[in-house]
Amino acid sequence: MAVELRCPDCRAKLNLKKAPEPGTEVECPECYAIFDAPEDVRTDDDAPPARRRPAADDDDDRPRKKKEKKPKVAPGAKAPRKRKAKVKETNKTVLIVLIAGGLAFLGLVIFMLVWFFVKKPAAYELINYLPPDCNTVEGANIGHVRRYIELYKKFEQPVDGASFKLASDAVATAVGGDAKEFLDYFVSGSNGNGESALVLKAMKPFDGSQLSKLPGAKKGTADGRDYYTVDPIAGVYSGQLKVFSPSAKLVVFCPAGVAPGTFNKMISGNAGNLESATAARFGDLGKQTVRGTAWIMFMLDEKSRPKEPDEKEAAAGQVDYQKQAAQATKSAKAFGFKASVGSRHVKFEVRLQFPDADAAKALRDRFRESPLAKGDDASIDPPRYWKQFVSKVVGNQKVGVELFTSIGASTSGDVFVLSAESETQTLMDSVGSMVTKMVGGGSQGGGAPGMMPGGGGPPPGMNGPAGQGGRPAAAGAGVALP
């Protein structure tokens, strides 16, 4: 006979087919509470007829309280107990895989950051074959420029007489390569003691033994490695040369008169000497500078530091730019300049390394107070030193405007950074004249002053015999210092 029970906990109605024995445990299907069946279980037959509630009078608006029903618990019965809801357990294998995947991703991110900031730039492979302690180093990623066909056409003709191109053509002829497609990268440097080198990287591997086909080649050995002494190549240093191939893509030229001790270090790639070699000498400034498409860096000393104009120069006028550069670099230790070519923009960057971070920040603050910091305001007239910079170095007013409106300054430790950019298409109109200034119009020319006024003399590799000439001129069009 069907019976009806009420759960004493949630008051749910339980309809059972037959009355349970008094004291028997009953489980509520709604809240999972367990309680003992009461003794006075009523069946359907025992239930009194439901009483109808009289209809409420329309005039009676008194609120009626609802009676709270207390759960019926049989005398001596135990208090109802709640059964804990079942919780689905997470698959341990899935959890382990998710945790392992997250840790692996985090490790990859950390590795990539460390790799980016710690890894050695590609140019260092070439720099290691320069004489130790070079004061001046420059280079260019020719393969990268070649990707931009129209820009490369503007670049190609002015550099035909540059030292690196003349040396590259000679090697291409000797190993049977295409002179126009042979060169990928070049680096050159000088240590100020008459010891210089030019390092070329080819686009494709070649047989180093084919260097024996260079005019007048005579084989020799240094530090257990082969090299060749060859006849002079016009425009590449002066007199006889030593040349060797440390790998399937690299070839190194230097004057035959380089000291044997220095040459032994060069031919070994400065093995065991990298901590004090050229790359280490330029530190963080060098790591960032050599990442450009074309770049130059040199140590600033009494010979290379821009000088204040003398009375004669001041009387001739147009020396504001020279004075500005002399003041900005007065206490700097090293200078770096790079141009990074992109499909839409070419970014220029000047770096100055100071004895400490405070000196770098002082120059940054000076920039923020200068007219250069307000270049994005069309009503601002550029200062005279900027106009002289554009006239002497850039040679294109439109490029000068783009540089002026995009110029900015920052610091990185003890390095002051000045950057600006120009649209690649705009720059094409003046790249020919800019490169001509870099190479001085020929392999033996005197070289026009570059970004750093007071520098006179050709930079190594780009113009004539490396290491000959006066203070280095920074390659390319850069940004005037505040």
pLDDT tens digits along 192-233: 888 999 999 999 999 999 999 999 999 999 999 999 999 999
Q: Are 263 and 269 in contact (CB under 8 A)?
A: no
Residue 274, pLDDT score? 76
pLDDT at 446: 30
* Predicted confidence band of residue 248 (pLDDT cuts 50, 70, 90): very high
pLDDT at 277: 86
**Model confidence band, residue 128 (pLDDT cutoffs 50, 70, 90):** very high
What sign does the CA torsion over 377, 351, 345, 113 have? negative
pLDDT at 478: 42
Write out pLDDT tens, residues 189-199: 998 888 999 99
Strands (E), 324-441: 334-341, 345-353, 408-412, 415-423
Predicted confidence at residue 45, as pLDDT, reads 55
CA angle 423, 424, 427 (to 5 degrees): 90
382's tokens: 């550029």
Express as a percent the part of the chain with pLDDT over 90. Answer: 42
Q: Which two tokens stand for residue 363?
A: 């120059």
Average pLDDT over residues 415-433: 86
Task: Report the amino acid identity of residue 101.
Answer: G
299 falls in which pLDDT band (50, 70, 90)?
Answer: very high
| pLDDT tens-digit readout, 353-389 | 999 999 999 999 999 998 888 876 767 788 889 998 8
pLDDT at 59: 47
**Beta pairing class for 196-202 and 33-36:** unpaired
pLDDT of residue 426: 87
Q: Output DSSP code: residue 75.
A: T
Are the beta carbons of 248 and 205 closer than 8 angstroms?
yes
Confidence category of residue 293, pLDDT binned at 50, 70, 90: very high
pLDDT at 13: 81
Helix (H, G, I), strand (E, B) or coil at 65: coil
Residue with tokens 């020929």: 442
Question: pTM here?
Answer: 0.70
Distances (CA, A) of 106 to 99, 114, 118: 11, 12, 18
Amino acid symbol at 119: K
Q: Count H helices, E strands: the chain?
A: 14, 17
Tell whether the torsion through CA atoms of 391, 396, 397 and 402 is positive or negative: negative
Q: Is the pLDDT of residue 174 over 90?
A: yes
3-state helix, strand, coil in the chain (%, to 5): 35, 20, 45
With beta carbons less than 8 A apart as the criterion, state whether 4 and 17 touch: no
Rg (the chain; Cα; Å): 41
State the chain's mean pLDDT as an integer: 79
In the block, residue with structure tokens 């895989």: 97
Please tell me the predicted confidence (pLDDT) of residue 453: 43
| Measured distance CA(37)–CA(74) in Å, rounded | 7
Answer yes or no: are the C-beta atoms of 459 and 447 closer than 8 Å. Answer: yes
Measured over the CA atoms of residue 166, residue 461, residue 478 and residue 451, the dihedral's sign is: negative
- Checking if the pLDDT of 456 tops 50, the result is no
For residue 141, give every residue at least 6 positions away whose Cβ sits within 8 Å of its Cβ, in sequence order, or none: 184, 185, 293, 294
Alpha helix stretches (DSSP H) within 228-267: 260-267
Q: Report the pLDDT value the prediction gives residue 20, as an integer from 0 to 100.
A: 79
